[in-house]
Structure 1
Amino acid sequence: MTTGSAWSVALVGVQGTPVEVEAAQGAGLPRTVLVGLPDAALYEARDRCRAAVFGAGLKWPESLVTINLTPANLPKAGSHYDVAIVAAVLACAAIVPPAIAARTVLLGELGLDGRVRPVRGILPALLAARQAGFETAVVPAGQVREASLVEGLTIWGVSDLAQLVEVLHGRPVCTTAPEEAGPPDPQTPCPDMADVAGQDEGRWAVEVAAAGAHHLFMHGPPGTGKTMLAHRLPGLLPDLDDERALEVSAIHSLAGLELGNGLVRRPPFADPHHNATVAAIVGGGARVARPGAISLAHRGVLFLDEAPEFSPRVLEALRTPLESGWVTIARSGATVRYPARFQLVLAANPCPCGHHGVAGRSCRCTPMTVRRYAQRLSGPVLDRVDIHVHLSAQGAIGLKAAQECTAESSEVVRQRVLEARDRQARRLRGSPWHTNAELPGTIVRNELPAPHDIGIIDAAVDRGLLSTRGVDKVLRVAWTLADLAGHDRIASDDLAAAMGLRSGSWLSGAAS
């Protein structure tokens, strides 16, 4: 019996485990057996790889071929094992020397004519391979740029099986991205805050949210600028550092998004439609769950427009990720854990028709309809949101005055946000946290300088207006306001403003 081996990577979430692909020829009728807990797509690799080898003019062994994926108890999914399977079989059949394949990670899907096609998850797979001690990797030629983002690995790109054979003989033929990939696309500019006419309170709330990475809830009638402000929030955020950019890029690679332009440096923005399912928002899949919108918004912004229109199951599923920054999805095949440290921005109308409580407009909704609409956003979800702001409709005079007044641009506001973030970074240096919103309540209450007067908080707690979580939220926002003002500790004005940003009138107005 002759054997050959190669290596690939099994991805469970963003965590990768090296998988040894072993091929052995034995006595018996010509057939191919694949073992090692493959899913349906991987099980079909037997026929796909055999046809690809013939399509490339090579020879598949005319005997019993057993392909084993080790460790055998680890679920394996996807088509990225194709190239490693063919490399192991070719080494087993002595068509290529076995030495290079036995110490190389190979990733890629095969076409029936022998072409090597792109696959998901190149970046997290190669990060796992580097951590396991591998030094070389073979990837599809069109994904060499993405693979090169992982430092410390020699990357060989192949476009078909003929080039793979050359690589396995020690003669790499493609080490750079193909010319047709073209130059990087210019970055799409973010919308400018200067486009928002008036709504000074809403603009200020968005600036505070950006400065401290706080969750934000905007409510008010249609046309008041809620969506405009939400779409301009990412433009106020600082670029991601190397560590965070690698985190975000690994998730995007796993989701199949293009990374040919390098690491994702700008905070991502996700705005799913209100008919999205729990699996689309949180993540899901038949065997091994894929990342959802909350993970694609990791280190960025998740915007839920018309939030009460979302399924209650979707909204309630956000509770744990909002607090922990992680989402854990259990399936029969595996339990997956994805990072989900995002800024949540909710926008809601006062009622289904949007005109409840608006002067000069007639609301067609019954009081019970208005109450039920408000209750679609549960108390536990809203309690996890730091800033609540009500945007009022502007009259003709106010709108004209706002249009005549030159509003601050995103660049001006962003400079203040960057200065506040810099103050936070200096204060939190040496800790695992970077922004005020990430701080645990015990740290905010016990280790940071306390405000001079917390009577306003005590009064709100006594009246039942603040929960224990709400107290922590107010203190975090107060620290952000202090950072924006250049204070070394929370002043009375900062605490009062934080209480104002915490209190919202939408629920009480809807219930009245």
Structure 2
Amino acid sequence: MFKKFYSLGLCGIEAFNVDVEIDVGKGLPGFTIIGLPDASIKEAKERIKSAIKNSGMNFPNKKILVNLSPADIKKEGTHFDLAMAVAIIGCSMQLDEALSGESVFLGELSLDGKLRPIKGVLSMLIKAKELGYKNAFVPLENVKEASAVDGIKVYASERLSHIADFLKGEEEINPLETRKINVSSGNFKEDFSQVKGNYAAKRAAEISAAGNHNMIMIGPPGSGKTMIARRIASIMPDLTDSEIIEISRIYSCSGLLDDNIGIVDKRPFRSPHHTATQASIIGGGRDAKPGEVVLSHRGVLFLDEIAEFDKKTLECLRQPIEDGFVDITRLKISARYPSKFLLVSGLNPCPCGYYGHPSIECKCSQNEVARYLNRLSGPLLDRFDLFIEMIPMDYSQLTNESCEEKSSDIKSRVEMARLVQKKRFAGLDMKSNSEIQSSQIEEFCCLNNDSKEFLKKIFEKFNLTIRSYYKLLKVARTIADVEGSKAVQISHISEAFSFRKAYYSYWR
């Protein structure tokens, strides 16, 4: 007897259709799975057999052959258990073929017949909807993320027997109601009102968030680099519905979703340790898993003590920053992940950390300082838009009782600037000024004759590279947006260039 049911596989964060074909016939009893299954799928034979028996149903004592088609793509994961189990049950008893033929089955089975939660439900349901499936069966513990997808009926259950009875018409399972995605806003523990002084750095953080410009802060220990970096996410605009789905798909496939929420409702903030490997930062491994640059998509990637990171790892950041995606290729898998993130970095000016400190003597030689700073290559530094020198606070600044500006106040200005950019880039695949291509500079960053002459003097005096020239214009465009100006003025260019002062102080 031949039957066909349907499931989905995962390649990175993209899902693909899988036909679960089963043939139960004469011959020596056995259970064989073909179609390039990995070890977790091969082990499914024992899980499925025990789950069917412990659910009160008969397991056919016949020759069973299961084919996962297309057979030339490697299948990974335990979520094929449910589809294979239902296919075997369908060969022993009459199921609703109209319902099962329009459905996908996703779930891992326990030996007692319970359904266990799986990774990647969000991506697979979105793909099932695109492929025209009308129904999907998922484990009950995946209900939060599954209910975020509309346009497809999702049935959640905690036992194999419940799904079998439903397909036989003996039990009712109500489809999930699609829930409205609610964005978590204003719930950050860290707030800019807690940051004393550092007004130039806070202004740079505002410009960085408004235009999604990469920022690096250099200064001695305790000058506030980490404090400011951890608060940048609190002034970034709330996530849109499409951004929530983008990020949630990544975290779902990585198994990092909060089961109580089911989606990612805040912009990610990732801060890997400087001992992190290249694979953990960029992604890779045997299964081409996403790294920190992917997990920080649409959020903030903070590299504290960036000079302590492995130099080869840092150089690998250049392509994701420039392209906004990462391609990871392994022997049997090739995946593309989105990686549009805001890079924020902290850096000590020397090995001891006190080079240029107003009151603490630096113990490093000039050669040691130069070697330390040169751990960041010129091409990598060219990927940063804002360079901020952090100045240690004195006692009077630290004990000043004046009220500092709250994150909510800064965020309102950032959102106004982003709204201007949204209107500017309507119909284009861009969300912020940092994404403006070089060919679009003249269109979006119009300058009058005085501004052009001023910019020419800067370019010639400081020998700007083409990339730094364009970045200077993009930052000036963002400053103009924050100030509510349609045209880029000399004052905006001047302020944008002031955020490169630390670069010329330490690296030029």
- With the shorter chain as reference, the TM-score category is over 0.9
Q: Distance in 1 between matches of 2:268 and 2:440?
A: 28
Give the TM-score taking structure 1 as reference length.
0.93
Q: How does 1:210-225 map to 2 (within 5 A)?
A: 210-225=209-224
Q: Is the 8 A contact 1:353 1:364 kept in 2?
A: yes
| 1:492 partnered with 2:484 | no
Residue equivalent to 1:300: 299
Residue equivalent to 2:413: 416
Q: 3-state SS of the aligned residue for 1:79?
A: coil
Residue equivalent to 1:277: 277
Q: 3-state SS of the aligned residue for 2:76?
A: coil
Select 1:405's aligned residue among 393, 402, 417: 402
Residue equivalent to 1:116: 115
Residue equivalent to 1:437: 434
Q: Is the 8 A contact 2:135 2:153 kept in 1?
A: yes
Change (3 A) 1:184 1:416: closer
Change (3 A) 1:489 1:135: same
Q: Is the 8 A contact 1:445 1:472 kept in 2?
A: no
Q: Is the 8 A contact 2:447 2:489 kept in 1?
A: no
Residue equivalent to 1:18: 17
1:263, distance to aligned residue in structure 2 (A): 4.0
Deviations, residues 205-258 of structure 1 (Å, cap 9, x unaligned): 001001111111111011111111111101101111111211111111111112
1:429, distance to aligned residue in structure 2 (A): 2.1
1:188, distance to aligned residue in structure 2 (A): 4.5
| 1:85 partnered with 2:84 | yes
Residue equivalent to 2:37: 38
Change (3 A) 1:137 1:172: farther
Q: Is the 8 A contact 2:350 2:369 kept in 1?
A: yes
Q: Distance in 1 between matches of 2:476 and 2:314?
A: 27
Mean Cα displacement is larger for which, 50-59 or 230-239? 50-59
Q: Distance in 2 between matches of 1:284 and 1:451?
A: 48
Residue equivalent to 2:266: 266
Q: Distance in 2 between matches of 1:38 and 1:456?
A: 64
Q: 3-state SS of the aligned residue for 1:404?
A: coil
Q: Distance in 1 between matches of 2:398 and 2:228?
A: 16
Q: 3-state SS of the aligned residue for 2:141?
A: helix
User: Structure 1 unaligned runs (5+)?
Assistant: 178-182
Q: 3-state SS of the aligned residue for 1:94?
A: coil
Deviations, residues 329-350 of structure 1 (Å, cap 9, x unaligned): 0011121000111000011111
Q: 3-state SS of the aligned residue for 2:238?
A: coil
Residue equivalent to 2:154: 155
Residue equivalent to 2:199: 200
Deviations, residues 443-464 of structure 1 (Å, cap 9, x unaligned): 1134542344233433343345
Residue equivalent to 2:395: 396
Q: 3-state SS of the aligned residue for 1:58?
A: coil
1:51, distance to aligned residue in structure 2 (A): 2.1
Q: How does 1:325-404 map to 2 (within 5 A)?
A: 325-400=324-399, 403-404=400-401
Change (3 A) 1:396 1:154: same
Q: 3-state SS of the aligned residue for 2:71?
A: coil
Change (3 A) 1:344 1:186: closer
Change (3 A) 1:127 1:9: same
| 1:312 partnered with 2:311 | yes
Q: 3-state SS of the aligned residue for 1:504?
A: helix
Q: Distance in 1 between matches of 2:92 and 2:368?
A: 72
Select 1:455's aligned residue among 441, 447, 453: 453
Q: Is the 8 A contact 1:301 1:345 kept in 2?
A: yes
Q: Distance in 2 between matches of 1:394 and 1:465?
A: 33
Q: 3-state SS of the aligned residue for 2:230?
A: helix
Deviations, residues 168-223 of structure 1 (Å, cap 9, x unaligned): 2244435459xxxxx99998424110100100111000010011111111110111
Q: 3-state SS of the aligned residue for 2:173?
A: coil
Q: Distance in 2 between matches of 1:329 and 1:345?
A: 24
Mean Cα displacement is larger for which, 104-113 or 373-382? 373-382
User: Structure 2 unaligned runs (5+)?
Assistant: none
Change (3 A) 1:172 1:338: farther
Residue equivalent to 1:469: 467
Residue equivalent to 2:143: 144
Deviations, residues 49-100 of structure 1 (Å, cap 9, x unaligned): 1222222232222111111001111121111111111111111233644443
Q: Distance in 1 between matches of 2:416 and 2:479?
A: 12
Q: Is the 8 A contact 1:249 1:259 kept in 2?
A: no
Q: Distance in 2 between matches of 1:285 and 1:449?
A: 46
Residue equivalent to 1:480: 478
Q: Distance in 1 between matches of 2:313 and 2:52?
A: 46
| 1:60 partnered with 2:59 | yes
Mean Cα displacement is larger for which, 362-371 or 117-126? 362-371
Q: Is the 8 A contact 2:269 2:299 kept in 1?
A: yes
1:265, distance to aligned residue in structure 2 (A): 3.3
1:472, distance to aligned residue in structure 2 (A): 0.9
Change (3 A) 1:502 1:360: closer
1:35, distance to aligned residue in structure 2 (A): 0.7
Q: Distance in 1 between matches of 2:88 and 2:285?
A: 31
The amino acid of 2:497's aligned partner reads M
Residue equivalent to 1:180: none
The amino acid of 2:401's aligned partner reads E
Q: Distance in 1 between matches of 2:380 and 2:74?
A: 35
Q: 3-state SS of the aligned residue for 1:4?
A: strand
1:26, distance to aligned residue in structure 2 (A): 2.4
Q: 3-state SS of the aligned residue for 1:68?
A: strand
1:388, distance to aligned residue in structure 2 (A): 0.8
Mean Cα displacement is larger for which, 362-371 or 266-275? 362-371
Change (3 A) 1:97 1:423: closer
Aligned pair count reads 501
Q: Percent identity?
A: 36
Q: How does 1:161-180 map to 2 (within 5 A)?
A: 161-170=160-169, 171-173=171-173, 175-176=175-176
